[in-house]
Amino acid sequence: MSQAADIPAYPAEPDHMVFALPMPMAQAFGLKGEAIGNDRARIRMPYQQQFTNSRGDMHGGAIATLLDVGLSAAARAHDPARYGVITVDLTIHYIAPASGDVICTAVCEKRGLSLSFVRGELRNDAGDLLGMASGTFKLVDRTKS
């Protein structure tokens, strides 16, 4: 996956925003867009006890939410404020439990007129691989009526 230097940093936003788009659901999960551009995106989900499983690790459903938002952000990384995204499919491979913050880094491998094909990975702050995903996303131009 891409090195952090390949993704331009993004300025801090209000809690309900992710890369220039309002997303109240992301606020509930505490998702923070850290970087976007060059067909890539990086989003962090802080560890929150209310989203853990019986072992105290981040629940797979919360992890799936982070991957969906992270991969969809990479799909619109070429013009973040212009495009919304609809998830067509998302395949997730859980590799290791997450007991702290989780960082999703994603890259858009191919973007057509409306469909984007994206892959991503999850890591903790130590850089350990926690999961991988791939997905197909439909771009929705928010500037058209």
pLDDT tens by residue, 25-70: 889 999 999 999 999 999 999 999 999 999 999 999 999 999 999 9
pLDDT of residue 4: 54
* pLDDT tens-digit readout, 3-16: 555 899 999 999 99
DSSP assignment string, 86-99: EEEEEEEEE-S---
Q: How far apart are the first and last CA of the chain?
A: 36
pTM: 0.93
pLDDT in tens, 108-129: 999 999 999 999 999 999 999 9
Instruction: With cut-offs at 50, 70 and 90, classify the pLDDT of residue 2.
Output: very low
What 8-state DSSP symbol labels residue 59? P
